[in-house]
Amino acid sequence: MNRPSWSFFGNAWAVSLIQKHVAGGKVRHAYLIHGQDGVGKRTLALKFASAIFCQSGIKGEPCGVCPSCKKVEQGQGFDLKMIQRIPGKREILIDQVREAEAFLRITPYAAEKKVVIFQDFDLANGNTQNALLKTLEEAPPYAVLILLTQQPQSLLPTVLSRCEKLELRPVGLQEMRDYLVHLAAEPQTTDLISHIADGSPGIAFRLAKEGDEILRERREALDTFFSVLSLKLHERFNLADQLVRKDTKAREQAKTRAKKLKSGTKDLAEEGLEEDDPLEEGLAERWLLYWLHLCGDLRIRALGSTASITNIDQTDQIEQYSHKLGFAATDLCYGAIEKALFQMRADGNKRMVLECLFLDLPQKG
Ligand SMILES: [Zn+2]
C-alpha cells in the first residue's frame, strides 16, 4: 500500500525505493523512469522532487501542502527544471541540454539538491544524448537528473548505464477497478474503463472524468475501423481527409477544454496523475490508439487464444472480424497502425500518415 502522502497509484515498489533513497540520503545522480502512456512517469518524478524539496521535515515524504510541494506540483520551483520538447520542434534540442547544464552549475537556492526532469527523452537524438552524457559525468554532487521515456530502447547504452532504472508496470485489472471505485466512477462503466485503460491510471482517470464523451469518440473510432476495411482506396482517402478535419476541429475545442482542465489541475495532482501525455494527444492519435488496441484484440482471437481482450464491449465484432481477417491480416493491421502512430507522434504530416496507413490496410468486403 502506498503512503497516503505520496497519493500515487500503482507501482508501490517504486515509491518505496525513492522514499528510501531520499530518507537515507542516498539519492543517485540520475534516474530513468520508463513505462507506457499515462502510467504515472511525470507524476512520480514530481513526487520525487517534492520529497527532496519538502519543507515539512519528514524525510522522504512529500507533505503536499508546504510552499515547496505546491510549487513542484505545478512543475515549478527554484531548484527544479522541467525540460520537454518545444512545441513545433521534432526533437529535444542540444541547447536544452546546455540549458540544464547551466542550471546545474549554480548551487541550489533553497534545497540541498537541484533536480532536472527531462520528459520524453527518447525524443533526443544521439548528439543531444551525448551532450547529456557529458553533463551526467561532470554533474556537481547536488545534481539529480530524472529522464522519462516510453521507449528506453531509443536511449544510448552509455546513457542507460548511468541511470538507476525504474520501470513502471501497467496496473492490474483488479487494482484498476479498485481505483475507479475510489474515483467514484459510474459503476456501469467501471469494468469497461478498467479494460480500455490498459494498465494506465492516467487514462482511467480521464475516462472516468470525461467518460461519456470519450467513450462515444472511441465507439465511433472502432466502428470506423471495421468499415474502413471494406472501403475502396479513394473512399479511404476521403476518410483520411475527414479525419484530419475532425482532428483540426478537435484541437480548437481542446484549447477551450485545456482552460477548463487547468482550473482542475489540483484535482489531477491530488490523484497523483499526470496531466500531460494522455490529454495532450490529438484526436487522430487517439483514434490510432483505439485502432491499435482493437487490432491487438483481433490478433489475440485470430491466434485462437482465449486471453483477456481490451475492448470487452466489442466481443462479437472481434470474434467475427478475427475469423474473417485471419492472423496474417490482423498482424499486418497491427504493425501498420503502430508505424502510423509512431510517425504521427514524431510530428509527421497527419494526412500523409493516414493515407499511407490506408494503403497498407488489407481490403475485406
Ligand atoms: Zn511539503
pLDDT in tens, 177-187: 888 888 887 77
Residue 260: pLDDT band (50, 70, 90) is low
Q: Which domains does the chain show, CATH number per domain?
A: 4-167 (3.40.50.300), 210-360 (1.20.272)
Residue 346: pLDDT band (50, 70, 90) is confident
Residue 262 is predicted with a pLDDT of 57
Cα 36 to averaged position of ligand 1 atoms, centre (Å):
28
Cα 132 to averaged position of ligand 1 atoms, centre (Å):
30
Mean pLDDT of 196-224: 85
Residue 184 is predicted with a pLDDT of 80
Cα 201 to averaged position of ligand 1 atoms, centre (Å):
24
Cα 55 to averaged position of ligand 1 atoms, centre (Å):
5
pLDDT of residue 308 exceeding 80: yes
Cα 178 to averaged position of ligand 1 atoms, centre (Å):
27
Measured between alpha carbons, how far is residue 176 from residues 90, 195, 223, 283 in Å?
Answer: 34, 9, 26, 25
Cα 148 to averaged position of ligand 1 atoms, centre (Å):
23
The residue assigned the cell 507524476 is 43
Measured between alpha carbons, how far is residue 270 from residues 172, 183, 262, 273, 345 in Å?
Answer: 21, 11, 13, 8, 28
Residue 283 is predicted with a pLDDT of 85
Cα 57 to averaged position of ligand 1 atoms, centre (Å):
8
Cα 52 to averaged position of ligand 1 atoms, centre (Å):
9
Residue 59: pLDDT band (50, 70, 90) is confident
Measured CA to CA, the distance from residue 343 to residue 339 in angstroms comes to: 6
| Residue whose C-alpha is closest to residue 32's, from 114, 153, 127 | 153
Cα 58 to averaged position of ligand 1 atoms, centre (Å):
9
Cα 351 to averaged position of ligand 1 atoms, centre (Å):
47
Cα 53 to averaged position of ligand 1 atoms, centre (Å):
7
pLDDT of residue 258 exceeding 80: no
Contact partners, residue 259, CB within 8 Å, separation at least 6: none
pLDDT of residue 360 exceeding 60: yes
Residue 27 is predicted with a pLDDT of 95
Cα 54 to averaged position of ligand 1 atoms, centre (Å):
4
pLDDT of residue 211 exceeding 60: yes
Cα 59 to averaged position of ligand 1 atoms, centre (Å):
10
Residue 129 is predicted with a pLDDT of 95
Residue 269 is predicted with a pLDDT of 43
In percent, the amount of the chain with pLDDT more than 90 equals 56
Cα 164 to averaged position of ligand 1 atoms, centre (Å):
24
| Residue whose C-alpha is closest to residue 221's, from 191, 242, 235, 201 | 242
Cα 170 to averaged position of ligand 1 atoms, centre (Å):
28
Cα 76 to averaged position of ligand 1 atoms, centre (Å):
14
Cα 67 to averaged position of ligand 1 atoms, centre (Å):
7
Cα 193 to averaged position of ligand 1 atoms, centre (Å):
33
Mean pLDDT of 256-277: 51
Write out the three cell numbers for 247. Answer: 482532428
pLDDT of residue 98 exceeding 70: yes
Helix pair 211-228, 283-302: axis angle to 10 deg = 60
Residue 270 is predicted with a pLDDT of 44
Residue 268 is predicted with a pLDDT of 46
Of 78-87, 150-159, 272-281, 344-353, least confident by mean pLDDT is: 272-281
pLDDT of residue 313 exceeding 50: yes
Mean pLDDT of 257-274: 51
Cα 249 to averaged position of ligand 1 atoms, centre (Å):
41
Pinpoint the alpha helices (H) of the chain.
Answer: 12-23, 41-53, 67-73, 94-105, 126-138, 157-160, 173-182, 187-196, 201-209, 211-228, 233-263, 265-270, 277-280, 283-302, 315-345, 350-360
Residue 266: pLDDT band (50, 70, 90) is very low
Mean pLDDT, the chain, integer: 87
Cα 248 to averaged position of ligand 1 atoms, centre (Å):
41
